[in-house]
């Protein structure tokens, strides 16, 4: 047989996931919320879960998350997404139920709901965006704000004597027996974004395999309220946030390791 | 089915199960706890959802989630717990999904006590949570009525995509009396079209109470008000006793109305032509019926286990046509029939014209009663 | 021959944040200062040959605005070993 010349084939290497709607997000330019949204949509597409997924949007910058995902969604009260997800999952156990929450929502006002959802081993997936600040209300101190970090409600820098220390959610939730998968990843460069996507996939697999509560914490940027440009904001994550919120696997159910 | 001797809270819970309740989310609180305990035993047996939540805040948000999934769901609590639920209740109202909430009321404000009260009238009837919404409020006066109204509550909640409260008090929750439970209803095969169940073969369903653009929120508010007007037109419920020839009317709901029944019977023995009007729907309030009564009686006595809350709704309906007087006990104290009989005698003998400050006159009498150690 | 790739930037979604510009390993993306998107941003675009279709720009894009294409490398079909 002779070798035959072949016309170069055009491959699509990357395109907008099907689980995304065509709407442009309301997020500020360079905000990594959009990356987190996209990763969730990609994982849902790849696992074929779109038609049985029910998302729970939070209060915070991602309050309109339901507009961007092409799937059933509800909108929770501030901090209550894990309780709402519990209600949905308990009456529709075959559906895939996930929450998408920021740090004010999950680590401050919703602390009780997230801890008890984990303690009960609710079979839900939680995507937790930690950008160390309240974005939607205009840059106030969050429970995750770094010591010394200036915000509109810690204008002289977070004084730990006055307002305490950052809350580390993965470390807390990893102590819960009901938790199946608790990890922290970052969105500050392509390599870490790829790792974040793998983690999100495992967090959904935890749910599909009935292995309990799963949470992926994603270190994210807020260029607008940090008052730096999007590129510098990614550097801020790598240089300032990662030392306070170490990346890693805090709890991984043995069955997920195979 | 035959009548059995049933304990209030347990009977209410069983009634909810038989009405097709597929999810119960609650938190223990006296005097409502037996409701949750009954659900804890029965719901798992039937393969239905039961969660003892970490707080009433979480419980109502679980109800919110499960209601969005299109299931018959509910919670039960008592006054302080209901206060904690108000956030979620407002969200449920704003999202226009059905939910049934049983409030076994106790004495307050604050931690108060665990004795029967009707002090949550304003909170229940006037909304309680933030924003423009209108809950339906059903007030049973016996274990049997509570059983019946819990089934009705689910039907109304689904028909109008509305919050329905069934408000009992510690008396009804704790008492045992003969009552009959309904047969088990079949569960619906298909979820309602609006529910979030996974967007398979259809466009996504989004359930939210957010309308960031004020004109959109106003359109929603208009829809809610029109729905409420429809509810007012269709769903007024009340009970009357010896009202046909009555010259005096006692108006009371729930336990207060029930205690008044005994007093009215005794007053009739004395020749006082008095009858009882007992609103069953506190919201929508039977305004026209109360107005009609005020055209044919000489005086009205409102009896409540609070500081005169329904009194204001009665007065608004009466519009000064006849004097409206008030008697209430508060703080978890249930009035005795004798006390109400004394009040009926006093009202029947009172010839003074319209009294605009029934509450002030009553509080002076009540202080006297309390001072005498009654 | 190096793999040839290219990108399409969706005007409606691109907000000109320039994260793709700094992430591109080939240094072939910049913001188009001559043009504005309907939302008023300067969109990203390719400025030179050299795109390999590695998709790093799309991975860091917060707005899923970038579609990445690549010409599949053409391997001459080998004759079966027995022939």
Neighbouring C-beta atoms of residue C80, cutoff 10 Å = 7
Chains near C, with 3+ CB pairs < 8 A?
Answer: A
The per-residue pLDDT for range A9-38, each reduced to its tens digit, is 899 999 999 999 999 999 999 999 999 999
Does C60 contact A at CB distance below 8 Å?
A: yes
pLDDT score of C83: 38
Domains and CATH numbers, chain B: 4-234 (3.40.50.970), 238-371 (3.40.50.920)
**Distances in Å between the alpha carbon of B43 and those of A236, A243, B37, B74, B175?**
51, 47, 10, 12, 23
pLDDT score of C82: 47
Does A38 contact C at CB distance below 8 Å?
A: yes
Spell out which residues of chain B touch residue A75, defining contact as CB-CB under 8 Å: 95, 206-210
CB pair distance less than 8 Å for B58 and A54: no
A16 inside domain? no
Asked if B324 contacts B315 with a C-beta cutoff of 8 angstroms, the reply is: yes
Q: How far is A64 from chain C, CA to nearest CA, in Å?
A: 15
Mean pLDDT of all residues in A59-83: 97
CB pair distance less than 8 Å for A87 and B62: yes
pLDDT bin (cut points 50, 70, 90) of residue C72 is confident
Q: What span, in angstroms and rounded, lies between the C-alpha atoms of A95 and B200?
A: 11
The per-residue pLDDT for range A124-154, each reduced to its tens digit, is 999 999 999 999 999 999 999 999 999 999 9
How confident is the prediction for chain A on average, in pLDDT?
Answer: 96
A240 inside domain? yes
A10 inside domain? no
pLDDT score of A6: 58
The per-residue pLDDT for range A108-124, each reduced to its tens digit, is 999 999 999 999 999 99
Q: What span, in angstroms and rounded, lies between the C-alpha atoms of A57 and A77?
A: 9
Touch of A by B (3+ CB pairs closer than 8 Å): yes
Mutate to test the interface with A, among B43, B52, B69 (most CBs of A within 10 A): B69
A134 inside domain? yes
Angle A125-A129-A131 from CA coordinates, rounded to 5°: 165
Q: What beta strand segments (E) does chain B contain? A: 4-7, 23-26, 49-52, 73-77, 99-105, 136-138, 163-169, 176-179, 206-207, 238-241, 248-251, 274-279, 281-283, 299-304, 324-328
Angle A29-B213-C10 from CA coordinates, rounded to 5°: 30
Asked if A129 contacts A36 with a C-beta cutoff of 8 angstroms, the reply is: yes
Asked if A246 contacts A166 with a C-beta cutoff of 8 angstroms, the reply is: no
A13 inside domain? no
Is A66 a residue whose pLDDT tops 70?
A: yes
CB pair distance less than 8 Å for A10 and C72: yes
Q: Is B227 exposed, middle or buried (0-12, 13-18, 19+ CB in 10 A)?
A: middle
Stretch (H or E) spanning A181: strand A179-186
Q: How far is A22 from chain C, CA to nearest CA, in Å?
A: 9
Touch of B by C (3+ CB pairs closer than 8 Å): no
Of A28, A33, A230, the CB nearest to C18: A230
A25 inside domain? no
Of A31, A229, A231, the CB nearest to C62: A31
CB pair distance less than 8 Å for A16 and C83: no
pLDDT score of C74: 61
CB pair distance less than 8 Å for A35 and C61: yes
Spell out which residues of chain A touch residue B64, defining contact as CB-CB under 8 Å: 76-77, 80, 83-84, 87
Asked if B172 contacts B142 with a C-beta cutoff of 8 angstroms, the reply is: yes
CB pair distance less than 8 Å for B53 and A83: yes
CB pair distance less than 8 Å for C5 and A14: no
Here the CATH number for the domain that contains residue A246 is 3.40.50.970
ipTM for the whole complex: 0.95
Domain locations in chain C? 5-70
CB pair distance less than 8 Å for C68 and A16: no
Mean pLDDT of successive 10-residue stretches along chain B, which has 374 residues: 90 98 98 97 98 98 98 98 98 98 97 97 96 98 97 98 96 94 96 98 97 97 98 98 98 98 98 98 98 98 98 97 97 96 96 85 95 86
CB pair distance less than 8 Å for B67 and A80: no
Q: What is the CATH number of domain C5-70?
A: 3.30.70.20
- Note the Cα C6 to chain centre separation in Å: 5
Share of chain A above pLDDT 70, in %: 97
The per-residue pLDDT for range C12-42, each reduced to its tens digit, is 999 999 999 999 999 999 999 999 999 999 9
In terms of CA atoms, which chain A residue is nearest residue B57? A80
Spell out which residues of chain C touch residue A31, defining contact as CB-CB under 8 Å: 62
Is C80 a residue whose pLDDT tops 90?
A: no
In terms of CA atoms, which chain B residue is nearest residue A89? B66
pLDDT bin (cut points 50, 70, 90) of residue C73 is low
Spell out which residues of chain B touch residue A54, defining contact as CB-CB under 8 Å: 69, 196-198
Q: What span, in angstroms and rounded, lies between the C-alpha atoms of B112 and B94?
A: 30
pLDDT score of A119: 98
The per-residue pLDDT for range A43-64, each reduced to its tens digit, is 999 999 999 999 999 999 999 9
pLDDT bin (cut points 50, 70, 90) of residue C1 is low
Domain that holds residue A126: 33-257
The per-residue pLDDT for range A214-239, each reduced to its tens digit, is 999 999 999 999 999 999 999 999 99
pLDDT score of B105: 97
CB pair distance less than 8 Å for A116 and B62: no
A21 inside domain? no
Strand B49-52 and strand A213-219: pairing? unpaired
Of B73, B205, B210, the CB nearest to A72: B205
Q: How far is C24 from chain A, CA to nearest CA, in Å?
A: 10
Chains near B, with 3+ CB pairs < 8 A?
Answer: A
Does C22 contact A at CB distance below 8 Å?
A: yes
CB pair distance less than 8 Å for C61 and A34: yes
Is C76 a residue whose pLDDT tops 60?
A: no
Query: Count of residues for chain A?
Result: 258
Does A53 contact B at CB distance below 8 Å?
A: yes
Total domain count, chain A: 1
């Amino acid at each position: 047989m002779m070798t035959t010349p072949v016309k170069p084939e055009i491959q699509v290497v990357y395109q907008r996931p099907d689980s995304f709607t065509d709407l442009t997000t309301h997020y500020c330019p360079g905000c990594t919320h959009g990356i987190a949204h996209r990763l969730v949509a990609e994982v849902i597409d790849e696992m074929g879960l779109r038609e049985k997924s029910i998302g729970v949007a939070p209060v915070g910058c991602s309050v309109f998350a339901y507009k961007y995902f092409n799937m059933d969604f509800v909108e929770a009260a501030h901090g209550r997404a894990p309780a709402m997800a519990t209600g949905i999952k308990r009456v529709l156990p075959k559906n895939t139920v996930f929450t998408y929450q920021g740090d004010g929502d999950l680590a401050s006002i919703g602390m009780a709901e997230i801890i008890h959802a984990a303690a009960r081993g609710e079979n839900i997936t939680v995507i937790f965006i930690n950008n160390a600040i309240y974005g939607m209300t205009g840059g106030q101190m969050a429970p995750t704000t770094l010591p010394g970090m200036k915000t509109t409600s810690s204008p002289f820098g977070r004084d730990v004597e006055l307002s305490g220390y950052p809350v580390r959610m993965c470390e807390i939730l990893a102590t819960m027996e009901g938790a199946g998968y608790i990890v922290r990843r970052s969105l500050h460069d392509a390599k870490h974004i790829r790792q974040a996507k793998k983690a999100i996939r495992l967090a959904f697999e935890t749910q599909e395999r009935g292995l309990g509560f799963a949470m992926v914490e994603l270190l994210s940027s807020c260029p607008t309220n940090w008052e730096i440009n999007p590129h510098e904001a990614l550097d801020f994550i790598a240089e300032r946030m990662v030392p306070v919120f170490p990346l890693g696997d805090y709890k991984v159910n043995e069955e997920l390791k195979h | 089915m035959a009548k059995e001797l049933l304990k209030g809270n347990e009977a209410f819970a069983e009634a909810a199960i038989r009405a097709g309740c597929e999810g119960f989310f609650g938190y223990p609180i006296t005097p409502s706890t037996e409701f949750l305990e009954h659900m804890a035993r029965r719901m798992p047996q039937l393969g239905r959802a039961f969660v003892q939540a970490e707080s009433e805040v979480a419980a109502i948000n679980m109800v919110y989630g499960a209601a969005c999934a299109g299931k018959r769901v509910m919670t039960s609590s008592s006054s302080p717990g209901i206060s904690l639920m108000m956030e979620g209740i407002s969200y449920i109202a704003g999202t226009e999904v059905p939910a049934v909430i049983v409030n076994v009321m106790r004495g307050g404000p604050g931690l108060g006590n665990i004795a029967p009260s009707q002090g949550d009238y304003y909170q229940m009837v006037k909304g309680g949570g933030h924003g423009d919404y209108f809950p339906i409020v059903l007030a049973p006066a016996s274990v049997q009525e509570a059983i019946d109204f819990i089934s009705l509550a689910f039907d109304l909640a689904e028909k109008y995509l509305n919050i329905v409260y069934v408000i009992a008090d510690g008396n009804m929750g704790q008492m045992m009396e003969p009552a009959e439970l309904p047969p088990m209803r079949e569960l619906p095969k298909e979820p309602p079209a609006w529910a979030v169940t996974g967007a398979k073969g259809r466009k996504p369903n989004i359930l939210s109470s957010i309308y960031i653009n004020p004109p959109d929120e106003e359109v929603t508010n208009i829809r809610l008000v029109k729905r409420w007007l429809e509810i007012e037109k269709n769903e007024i419920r009340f009970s009357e006793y010896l009202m046909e020839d009555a010259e005096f009317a006692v108006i009371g709901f729930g336990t207060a109305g029930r205690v008044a029944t005994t007093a009215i019977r005794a007053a009739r023995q004395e020749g006082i032509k008095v009858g009882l009007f007992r609103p069953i729907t506190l919201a929508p309030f039977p305004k026209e019926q109360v107005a009609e009564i005020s055209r044919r009686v000489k005086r009205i006595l409102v009896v409540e286990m609070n500081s005169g809350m329904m009194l204001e709704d009665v007065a608004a309906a009466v519009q000064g046509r006849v004097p409206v007087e008030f008697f209430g006990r508060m703080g978890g104290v249930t009035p005795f029939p004798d006390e109400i009989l004394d009040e009926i005698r006093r009202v029947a003998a009172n010839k003074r014209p319209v009294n605009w400050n029934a509450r002030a006159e009553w509080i002076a009498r009540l202080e006297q009663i309390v001072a005498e150690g009654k | 021959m190096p793999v040839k790739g290219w990108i399409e930037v969706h005007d409606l979604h691109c907000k000109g944040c320039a994260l793709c510009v700094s992430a591109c390993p080939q240094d072939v993306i910049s913001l188009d200062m001559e043009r504005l998107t309907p939302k008023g941003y300067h969109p990203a675009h390719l400025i030179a040959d050299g795109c390999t279709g590695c998709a790093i720009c799309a991975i860091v894009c917060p707005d899923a605005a970038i579609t990445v294409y690549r010409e599949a490398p053409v391997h001459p079909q080998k004759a079966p070993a027995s022939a």
